[in-house]
Amino acid sequence: MEKFTPERAIVEAIREEMERDDRVIFFGEGVATKHYELVKEFGKERIRNVPLAEGIIVGTAVGASATGLRPIVDILFAPFITYAMEEFVNSAGKLRYISGGQFSFPLVVMGMTGGGWCVGAHHNHNIESWFIHAPGIYVVMPSAARDFKGLLKSSIRDENPVFFFIDIGLLHMPGEVPEQEYTTPLGKAKVILEGEDITLISWGKTVYRAVEAAEELAKEGIQIEVMDLMTLKPLDQESILNSVSKTNHLVVVHEASRNCGFGAEIAAIVSEEAFEYLKGPVVRVTGPDAPPPSSYVLEQAFAPDKDKIIAGVKRALGV
Amino acid sequence: MEKERALDFYEKMFLIRKYEETLLALAQNNEIFTFCSSLGQEASAVGVVSALSEDDIILTNHRSAGHLLARGAEPRRCLAEVMGKATGYCKGKSGPLHISVKELGIYLTSTIVGGELSLVTGVGLSLKMLKTNAIAVCFFGDGAACEGIFHESLNLASVWELPILYVCENNQWQAFVHRKETMRIDHISEWAKRYKIPAITVDGNDVEEVYKNTKKAVDSIRSQNGPYFIETYTYRLRGHMEPMDQQEYVDKEELENWRKKDPVICFKQKVLELASAKEIEELENNIELELQRAVHFAKESPYPNLDELTKDVFVV
Ligand SMILES: Cc1ncc(C[n+]2csc(CCOP(=O)(O)OP(=O)(O)O)c2C)c(N)n1
């Protein structure tokens, strides 16, 4: 199998989907400049630069998606979506419902986030839970190169609006990517390490740190089942409950801040749906309730690392 | 203007007027909660919509009754929607404020002020890229023109030469704030010109004037000259929201002056030169009758099933 980075996996996914479906278009600030090879292949009509105005960028995508096109928009850094909350949340997320199902919005918004580039809180802010809470929007956040490609392809093909979060820290981390055509289904989590003692759920870069923690704890005889959620909405509740009913313990790890982070929702679901299986508290290991800082040491300390995850696992197990 | 067209315009304007008066009576009687009346703006709606083709797409907002009815929406289904009934155009999930009717080309109605301006560029892009000859028409108010998205929308439409007709219904009011408190200019078309979009201000109370100018605008857009901007200068004769707004804050003289220019009454005088009083009376009676039936239909219609609460969130 070939090895390449998520950065390349994203471009491959877009190329394949544009090849497959004429209705797919791709725009954003500097998109046509950066992806000149796609412009050469598909033309200036389908790959476009846009004015610096996120509201109209996303609004245009929403309007186009309801009338026959399938836009992918790159808003660059996830916090820039705040200028387009109206268009994304009120229009893409609600107008299907408000209209009694008359419209659908097959579009993908891509945005980078997470520590790894020391860019500070206006470029790095893990806001995935905002969009999980909002109705009508799917949320995807892969960790492995192959899933960046497979999930982006599925997102482009889906009939619903998708926020595709790209963890900056993973962009240049090569991984195996199959050569033949494939997609990764939305709404399916992946168990990447099997274990009997505790379930660990994560997404984005903290998946890798969870694996490091699991390898270390394996030496102490603790077998962690590590699950990469990949799609946060729709949530693969079944896989979560199956795993927890086997291991009887759960820890959720994410880079996003703790307060009302998605870990809180997962903990609530498990306590409501699998309480009888739980033999200990559900523990969250998360970023702090603060804006992500720029300084390398602080940025590194923001996302849970191996040691914090190990401590969280031990707390959940009561050891 | 030929008789046939004049009667058609008058019929639509009278229907809109009577429909909204019907809603007002229902609201005053606590039979519906609220709605935003376009009373006084009928000429703008009928003049613009009558100049469009069937496959053109209209985006509108909270003050939409004129646009809906001029396009041929059934009063009974509009009314049912206002009442939150299952037979409404949006199954009761919109209510009075954001009614879309896809089958008539009324798309993506938004009640976030300026929402339609953010969406119309995408609709225009689709129409252009999918090589149709249709255009997108976007209705909005002078208040929406104060939103940043107005400027983003016009700029992009101009740069991408999108087939969009912007229609700013300048009714002098932005909810409870007079337009003059919010801008240095008198005509929103001045702003549009700065984006290199051909822009005109027309007497929004004169249906013939609106129609004629819209025809010209539509021809220009269809000849691939990019967007066009029409400001229909008019007046909101009622309060912002019925039935609670009593217009205490409105200057009496200003209101009186605009009442003298009531588009429905003024146009009726012109139609009387072309058609007999009897013809007009018959037309009016038919509309009154249709509206009585519409009220009956809406009242008798069932509410949505409670399982609708979580339907239509996603495409499944
Ligand atoms: C973003 C937003 N702000 C405020 C409102 C409340 N609101 C509804 S209509 C309206 C006035 C809009 O004025 P204008 O755009 O001139 O349209 P008109 O109502 O006069 O037709 C306001 C403030 C809203 N719906 N959306």
| Residue range of the domain that includes A85 | 2-177
Of A177, A206, A239, the domain-final residue: A177
Residue whose pair of structure tokens reads 């994203």 in the numeric block: A10
pLDDT cut 90: percent of chain B above it: 100
Calculate the average pLDDT of chain B: 98
- Domain shared by A90 and A129, yes or no: yes
- pLDDT at position B314 is 98
Of B54, B52, B49, B65, which is closest to residue B15 (Cα–Cα)? B65
Q: Indicate whether B289 belongs to any domain.
A: yes
Question: Is B146 close to ligand 1, i.e. is its CB under 6 Å away?
Answer: no
**B236 CB less than 6 Å from ligand 1?**
yes
Q: Do A100 and B57 touch (CB under 8 A)?
A: no
Domain count for chain A, please give it.
2
Residue A114 lies in a domain: yes
At B214 the pLDDT is 98
Mark whether A206 and A303 lie in a shared domain: yes
- d(CA B241, ligand 1 centre) in Å: 11
Residue A6 has pLDDT above 90, yes or no: yes
**A162 and A217 housed in the same domain:** no
Percent of chain B at pLDDT > 70 equals 100
Residues of A in contact with B90 (CB under 8 A): 98-100, 102
Asked if A202 and A285 sit in the same domain, the reply is yes
- The beta strands (E) that lie in A5-69 are given as 24-28, 47-49
- Using a CB–CB cutoff of 8 Å, tell me whether B126 touches chain A: yes
* CATH of residue A296: 3.40.50.920
- A12, part of any domain: yes
Mean pLDDT on A86-109: 98
Find which of B94, B312, B316 to mutate to test the A interface (most A CBs within 10 Å of its CB). Answer: B312
pLDDT at B167 over 90: yes
* B62 within some domain: yes
CA triplet B312, B120, B108: central angle to 5 degrees?
20
Instruction: Please check whether residues A154 and A262 belong to one and the same domain.
Output: no
The CA distances from residue A317 to A115, A197, A247, A311, in Å, are 29, 8, 10, 10
Q: Please state, in angstroms and as integers, the Cα–Cα distance from residue A130 to each residue in A81, A260, B114, B162, following that order.
A: 11, 9, 23, 33
pLDDT of A12 reads 97
Q: Which residue(s) pair with B228 in the sheet?
A: B165
CATH of the domain at A49: 3.40.50.970
Q: What is the count of residue pairs from A and B with beta carbons less than 8 Å apart?
A: 146
Select from A144, A177, A210 the last residue of a domain.
A177
Instruction: Flag whether B316 is in a domain.
Output: no
Tally of domains in chain B: 1
Residue A48's closest chain B neighbor by CA?
B160
Claim to verify: residue A166 and residue A220 sit in the same structural domain: no
Q: Is the pLDDT of residue A261 over 90?
A: yes
- Residue A185 included in any domain: no
pLDDT at A172 over 90: yes
Give, using CA atoms, the residue closest to atom 23 of ligand 1: B175
Do A105 and A209 fall into the same domain?
no
A167 plus A195 within the same structural domain: no
pLDDT category of residue A248 using cuts at 50, 70 and 90: very high
Q: Give dist(CA B29, CA B22) in Å, integer.
A: 11
Q: Which domain holds residue B80?
A: 3-26+37-297
Q: Is residue B302 one of the residues assigned to a domain?
A: no
Among candidates B172, B191, B169, which has minimal Cα distance to B58? Answer: B169
Tell me if A182 is assigned to some domain. Answer: no
In 3D, which of A3, A10, A1, A2 has the Cα closest to residue A168? A10
Q: Are residues A203 and A73 in the same domain?
A: no
Whether B306 contacts chain A with CB within 8 A: no
Cα(B308) to ligand 1 centroid in Å equals 28
Chain A residues with a Cβ under 8 Å from any Cβ in chain B: 25, 45-46, 50-51, 53, 55-56, 58-69, 71, 86-87, 90-91, 95-104, 135-136, 138, 159-160
State both tokens at A61: 């995508």
Same domain (yes/no): A311, A165: no
Span A7-22, average pLDDT: 98
pTM for the whole thing?
0.98
Does B39 sit in the ligand 1 pocket, CB within 6 Å?
Answer: no
Q: How confident is the model at residue B1 (pLDDT cuts 50, 70, 90)?
A: confident
Share of chain A above pLDDT 70, in %: 100
Question: Is residue B148 domain-resident?
Answer: yes
Q: What is the mean pLDDT of residues B150-171?
A: 98
Mean per-residue pLDDT, A258-275: 98
- Asked whether residue B42 is domain-assigned, the answer is yes
What sign does the dihedral B186-B190-B191-B197 (CA atoms) show?
Answer: positive
Task: Say whether both A73 and A173 belong to one domain.
Answer: yes
Domain CATH for B85: 3.40.50.970
Residue B307 belongs to a domain: no
pLDDT digits (tens, 9 = 90+) for A205-235: 999 999 999 999 999 999 999 999 999 999 9
> B34-78 pLDDT, tens per residue?
999 999 999 999 999 999 999 999 999 999 999 999 999 999 999
Q: Are residues A167 and A48 in the same domain?
A: yes
Of the pLDDT bands very low, low, confident and very high (cuts 50, 70, 90), residue A1 is confident
What would the pLDDT profile of A32-85 be if each residue is shown by its tens digit?
Answer: 999 999 999 999 999 999 999 999 999 999 999 999 999 999 999 999 999 999
Is A153 inside a domain boundary? yes
Report yes or no on A100 lying in a domain.
yes
State the average pLDDT over residues B84-90.
98
DSSP state of B250: S
User: What confidence category does residue A251 fall into, taking pLDDT thresholds of 50, 70 and 90?
Assistant: very high
